[in-house]
């Protein structure tokens, strides 16, 4: 098993799409539009800018009882 199924689950992407589209094409399904991803720089700063849940702390997305909430 690879990390891709776990990533897809966290990003709410259908596992079937992960298998059908392959890496890294299925990642585009995690965003509401391709433009955001395609027009952003491939740098750490660009990644943070396109991340849909940016601006929240890890602790606000994590429950010790239930696990991560993304």
pLDDT per position as a tens digit, 20-43? 999 988 988 888 777 777 788 888
pTM (2 decimals)?
0.54
Are 13 and 26 a contacting pair, CB within 8 Å?
yes
Between the CA of residue 45 and those of 20, 33, 49, 54, what are the distances in Å? 30, 19, 6, 11
- Give the separation between CA 64 and CA 70, rounded to whole angstroms: 14
pLDDT range class, residue 3, cuts 50, 70, 90: very high
The tokens describing 28, both together, are: 């585009």
The confidence score (pLDDT) of residue 59 equals 47
């Amino acid at each position: 098993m690879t990390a891709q199924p776990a990533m897809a689950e966290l990003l709410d992407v259908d596992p079937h799409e992960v298998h059908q589209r392959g890496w890294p094409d299925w990642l585009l399904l995690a965003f509401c539009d391709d433009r955001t991803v395609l027009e952003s720089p491939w740098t750490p700063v660009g990644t943070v800018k396109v991340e849909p849940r940016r601006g929240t702390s890890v602790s606000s997305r994590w429950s010790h009882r239930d696990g991560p909430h993304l």
